[in-house]
Chain A
Amino acid sequence: MLVWSKSGRVLTWLLAIPLFVIIYGLPIGVIALASVSGQWNDVLPSHFTLEHYADAFRAASFDSLKASLVTGVLASAAALVSGTWAALALRRIQPVPKRILDLCFFIPSAVPSVSIGLSLLVAFSQPPVLLNGTRLIVMIAHFVLISAFTYGNVAAGLARIPSDCEQVAESLGARPFYRLRRVTLPLLLPYLIAAFSLSFALSMGELGATVMIYPPGWMTLPVSIFALSDRGAIFDAATLTMILGMATMLVLIGLSRISSKATVR
């Protein structure tokens, strides 16, 4: 505990609570209120309704939710597989080449997402690889943007696995793939879930690259929200924002429960 005196603790709480409410609570509260409002001409909204939610689960908005979820899950899964593979492959190489390859992996996280979107658009708009206008280019953009975080999480997890466990497994006769399947990956499971969760959350919120490359019929929720707010449909945009947040939260809570079980073991 950093603050020992009772008055100091009270003062700290008095500062922290308003800050938390203003920074986190207020924006979320405003969005939540807007999502159930029919009008907002005064300090507080009026004409409360659930019609926006009913509309959100019809046609285009619901397709956006499906597009976001499918993109998030597939891109995160691909990033998890490649990030895990890379982290496993790179952990036993010499420090200097490892640092160089680490850097290569982290470059996409340092480049603005709009630049990634533009570069994919330029790269894949001409034969021989013509991906412009396909759903695959959205998946690739998300994969590129999140893979650095996946790799970073898995690499950090691998560094925390006791090497003794893997070595003892080998001494007991476990060949590399058996050891990986029965020892390394189960020990890594909490970190894999954390990596997938982070990737999924990032993918669900991704806008910069997606807005440049999304094909017709594969508009993700952030793009829909951006389009609605751009058209002035603030209440519908707020509703989709709430749905986006809740869908992401539900998946993350589910993953965190699995992760907790794996950690307790």
Chain B
Amino acid sequence: MVQAMVMERSLPAATPSASAAPADAVGGSRIGFENVSVTYGSLTVLQSLTLTVNPGEIVALIGPSGSGKTTALRAVAGFVRPSSGRIMIGDRDVTNLAPYDRKIGMVVQNYALFPHMRVEENVAFGLRAHGASEAVVRARVPECLAMVGMGAYAKRYPRELSGGQQQRIAIARALANKPQVLLLDEPLSALDAQIRRSMLDELAKLHRDLPALTVLYVTHDQTEALTLANHIGIMRDGRLKAFGGAQSLFRNPPNRFAAEFLGRANLLPVNDLQPAGEGRVSVRFGATVLKARNHHRLAKGSDCLLCVRPHDFKLGSSRPDANRLSGVVRSVQWQGDVHNVVVEVAGECIRLSSAPMREPPEPGASLDVHFDPADVTVVPEDGADG
């Protein structure tokens, strides 16, 4: 599924529809966190966060509950005041600016549409708050509603819309002011799985239509992050544990936490790292010598982890230079479009995902698996943050 999402993102950009806002109409500012910390009494919820979201980029902050990702977003919005550090939007230091002076758009998990206003009034709210003329409001509101495919719902009240429709209106409302940046705080969390997938496509399309829009996207869902984001920041305990391009971070996680949080990973304890030519290294896993990429340039002889994604394991015949492991099947689980198999190898349980098999292995049976050295990398046991 992750591969599918990554492929989907790499599709060529769609031509903006005639109804969509002009590409240069919205966005275009950098978001900068400069050593930002947030404390409540003795509790530090965000610690020295330094991060830049470049104009036109989508950066996703992911992490478990309490990791500080929402605090970071709310600090940009102005609802949390940093105890130290600076927050920049474009060239402006907005650290001490009130939220209404920050020129942002914000979409939250529960939509927060104003229940006493019709859809068109919701979308017009920001325009009117800024004193826009009625002529501007009348022109801009249908434009924004068309952008999210909700033109026919202008006269309805929020209670007359489904969750997905409400979220579309929330996005239209956030974009109506042509904000410099768009902040999305778990915008799809309240939707069911099917609508979430469709909204994810809508958000991807929206960013293709508005390529200049700078987006900070907070989520706990790695699929959303991998589908939408150019860069991903992984947070834990108020700190940025990893940051990088979505594909790069997925293929080359800098530490154990990043490997485990962004996509499932088998982290095999390996040792005796030795150069093996062509940018590869050999490592010893039990009695078996395996080859892998050394993206993080770990030192010769070091003990480390070998990161193998479940879908990188293959069954059946292999290429001569492939890594091979033999083990005993511990469990087999069918999940419709995939078989998940747990195999015990040298005392470690590894998980592999495979396309549905007509005759899956039985628990207790021996199983040979192999994987391509180009698909796997060694990861430091306690990699540096960031």
Q: Is the CB of B115 within 8 A of A173?
A: no
Complex Cα spacing A107 to B367, Å = 77
Q: Which of B96-104, B202-210, B326-334 contacts A (4 or more CB under 8 A)?
A: B96-104
> Does A95 sit at the interface, judged by CB under 8 A?
no
**CB-CB under 8 A for A170 and B110, given A186-B116, A265-B115, A265-B116:** no
Name the residue of chain A whose CB is nearest to the CB of B130. A173
Query: Size of chain A's interface in residues, with CB distance under 8 A?
Result: 21
Tally A-B pairs: CB < 8 A: 74
Q: Is the CB of B125 within 8 A of A167?
A: no
Shortest beta-carbon distance, B8 to chain A, in Å?
29
Q: Is the CB of B115 within 8 A of A164?
A: no
> Does B226 sit at the interface, judged by CB under 8 A?
no
> Does A85 sit at the interface, judged by CB under 8 A?
no
Query: Size of chain B's interface in residues, with CB distance under 8 A?
Result: 28
> Does A250 sit at the interface, judged by CB under 8 A?
no
**CB-CB under 8 A for A170 and B99, given A162-B110, A164-B110, A182-B125:** yes
Q: Is the CB of A174 within 8 A of B112?
A: no
**CB-CB under 8 A for A171 and B116, given A162-B110, A178-B129, A265-B157:** no
Chain A positions 209-265 with a Cβ under 8 Å from a chain B Cβ? 262, 265
B residues near A169, Cβ cutoff 8 Å:
114, 125, 129
Name the residue of chain A whose CB is nearest to the CB of B99. A170
Name the residue of chain A whose CB is nearest to the CB of B109. A164
Partner of B174, one of A165, A172, A175, A178: A172
> Does B86 sit at the interface, judged by CB under 8 A?
no
> Does B77 sit at the interface, judged by CB under 8 A?
yes
Q: Is the CB of A174 within 8 A of B116?
A: no
Complex Cα spacing A174 to B114, Å = 13
A residues near B103, Cβ cutoff 8 Å:
173
Q: Is the CB of A165 within 8 A of B112?
A: yes
Name the residue of chain B whose CB is nearest to the CB of A168. B112
> Does A183 sit at the interface, judged by CB under 8 A?
yes
Complex Cα spacing A186 to B108, Å = 21
Complex Cα spacing A17 to B159, Å = 39
- Interface-centre pick from A170, A174, A265 (highest chain B CB count, 10 A): A170
**CB-CB under 8 A for A172 and B129, given A162-B110, A167-B77, A265-B157:** yes
Q: Is the CB of B112 within 8 A of A164?
A: yes
> Does A131 sit at the interface, judged by CB under 8 A?
no
**CB-CB under 8 A for A187 and B116, given A172-B126, A173-B177:** yes
What are the interface flags for A151-193 relative to B under an 8 Å C-beta threshold, 1 for contact and 0 otherwise?
A: 0000000000010110111111111001100110011010000
What are the interface flags for B102-128 relative to A under an 8 Å C-beta threshold, 1 for contact and 0 otherwise?
A: 111110101010111000000001100
Shortest beta-carbon distance, A142 to chain B, in Å?
31
**CB-CB under 8 A for A167 and B105, given A172-B129, A172-B177, A173-B100:** no
Complex Cα spacing A174 to B98, Å = 10
Complex Cα spacing A189 to B79, Å = 25
Q: Is the CB of B115 within 8 A of A187?
A: yes
A contact set with B: CB distance below 8 Å: 162, 164-165, 167-175, 178-179, 182-183, 186-187, 189, 262, 265
Contact sample, A vs B, 7 pairs, CB 8 Å cutoff: A165-B112, A168-B112, A168-B173, A170-B99, A171-B174, A174-B100, A182-B125
11 further interface pairs, Cβ-Cβ under 8 Å (given A164-B112, A172-B129, A187-B116): A167-B79, A167-B112, A170-B100, A171-B102, A171-B104, A171-B174, A172-B105, A172-B173, A174-B100, A178-B129, A265-B157
